[in-house]
Amino acid sequence: MTNPGLMDRMFQRIMRALVDTGRAPHYAELARALGISTDEGRLLLHEVMQAYPIGWLHPETDYIASFPPLNNLPTQYRITVRGEQRWFAQCGFEATSVTWLFPGETVRIEAPCLDCGDPVTVEMRDGRIIWVDPAEVVGHLNYGFGPSRGKPPFL
C-alpha cells in the first residue's frame, strides 16, 4: 500500500489523538477517519510502525503500545499538563521530549526513582527545564543504543 501521504496522515492522527486524549486510536478508527477499509487501516498501521521503529505494537497484536514520546501502555513516567495527569512517556529520556507536543504549556514529568521509589519531578516549558526536584536528577542509559540495546518493550 505504501503511500507516503497516507502514512503521514495516519501518523498525525495517532499523535494528535495521543496529545488530545492520552490514548492511541485503534486501526479501525484510523481507517474510518482516513476513508479506507479496516483491513487497509490495519496494514497501513503496520507500515507506519515500520517507518517509525522507535515505537511498537504490543507483541502479537495490532494494538499501539508505544508511540514516542508518549506511551499508550502506562509507564512510571507520568505526564501532567494543565493540571491533568492523562499521559505517559515511553521512558525517562522521551519524557523530556513531550514538551514539544504541548507548545506554551508547562509539562510536568513525575516518576518514582527505580532505586528508592521516591519521586523524581521535572517541569518543562517549550523545551526549557523550569523545575527539577531533586536538583541532582540525572538521566541514565542502561543498555547502549544500537546493537547492544535491549528488546524495545524492555527499555
Partner 1 sequence: MNLFRSEEHARRWPAFQARAEQGFITLVDLAGFFGTETRRHMLDGDYLSAWFPRRATERRAYLEQIGKTTPFWLGTPDAV
In the bound state with partner 1, the residue whose beta carbon lies nearer, of 38 and 152, is 152
Q: Which stretch binds partner 1 (CB under 8 A): 7-15, 38-46, 57-65, 79-87?
A: 7-15
C-alpha to C-alpha distances, 119 to 78, 80, 88, nearest whole angstrom: 11, 14, 15
Q: Does 63 bind partner 1 (CB under 8 A)?
A: no
C-alpha cell at 74: 502506562
Would you tell me how many other CB atoms lie within 10 Å of the CB of residue 121?
A: 14
* Interacting residue with partner 1 among 85, 127, 131, 153 (CB under 8 A): 127
Q: Does 44 bind partner 1 (CB under 8 A)?
A: no
In the bound state with partner 1, the residue whose beta carbon lies nearer, of 39 and 126, is 126
Q: Does 91 bind partner 1 (CB under 8 A)?
A: yes
